[in-house]
Amino acid sequence: MLIFMQFFCKTIFDKKVSRKFRQQQRRKNMADDGRAVLMVIPADGFREEEYKAARQALEKSGVKVVTASTVRQGALGYKGTTVDPEVLIDEVNPDDYAGVVFIGGHGSSQYWHDYKAHEIIRAYAKSGKFIAANDRAPVALAVAGILPGKNVTGHNSIFEKLSNAGAKYTGRKVERDGNIITGEGPNAISLYADELAKAFKSKA
């Protein structure tokens, strides 16, 4: 009985170690030595056209994109499109990526209360890597405390939240202040995607 229990425990331990190793290798391969961009989408209610435009613009510029969320499968866009993220946001090591893009939509309020998202934002603010957010997503940057004195834009419904965080809300379609890129919302998707491509390509 003792031998059986030892064998059983060892088997469970080996499986856990093997699974952890595979996850680490998978994340390393996806990140491609820090040259990839992390694109974060909410589990429910992301804006599909923004996700598609931003991803296509970056990839067309030769920038690899890795999608992250709080779910591994079936992240749901507001029009019903589903995406299977490659990595969970809790697994993200900021050092593995060139920067982060938070996709907007009504579901992006999820980022406002996500401690891990704020941790990633602060890490990139400290390292000078690009941080981008469109529509309602810039509130996450405000909550993370990186916007005082910064020129930013976003959906007009978040004007007060950004201003209260010390940001200078401009209302422009796209705003870039240092390493922070923000977009006004769905009307700015094309301009915003182009700005992302220019910014991250310069760091590739």
Residue 8 confidence (pLDDT) above 80: no
* pLDDT value for 108: 96
Relative orientation angle of helices 189-203 and 48-60, to the nearest 10 degrees = 30
Identify how many contiguous H helices and E strands the chain contains and give both numbers.
6, 12
Q: CA 41, 43, 47, 51 torsion: positive or negative?
A: positive
Beta-bridge mates of residue 183? 134, 174
Query: Domain map of the chain by residue range?
Result: 1-31, 33-203
Instruction: Say what the pTM is.
Output: 0.84
* pLDDT value for 30: 43
SS3 state of residue 122: helix
Closest by alpha carbon to 178, among 114, 131, 123? Answer: 131
Residue 33 confidence (pLDDT) above 80: no
Pairing of strands 82-83, 75-77: antiparallel
* pLDDT value for 27: 45
Q: Using CA atoms, how far apart are residues 144 and 134, in angstroms rounded to an integer?
A: 16
Q: Using CA atoms, how far apart are residues 112 and 48, in angstroms rounded to an integer?
A: 19
CATH class of 33-203: alpha beta
Residue 70 confidence (pLDDT) above 80: yes
- Specify the DSSP element, H or E, that contains 36: strand 36-40
Tokens 């982060």 — which residue? 100
Residue 22 confidence (pLDDT) above 50: no
CA 163 to chain centre: 23
Residue range 126-183, pLDDT digits in tens? 999 999 999 999 999 999 999 999 999 999 999 999 999 999 999 999 999 999 999 9
Confidence of residue 93 (pLDDT cuts 50, 70, 90): very high
Alpha helix segments (H runs only) across the chain = 2-31, 48-60, 115-127, 138-143, 159-164, 189-203
Q: Using CA atoms, how far apart are residues 104 and 138, in angstroms rounded to an integer?
A: 8
Point out the least confidently predicted range of 5-19, 26-40, 67-81, 117-131: 5-19
Percentage of the chain exceeding pLDDT 90: 80
Residue 13: HSE in the Cβ half-sphere, 13 Å Cα cutoff = 6
Mean pLDDT of the chain: 88
Beta-bridge mates of residue 76? 44, 82
Mean pLDDT (whole number) for 99-123: 96
CA 188 to chain centre: 18
Confidence of residue 122 (pLDDT cuts 50, 70, 90): very high
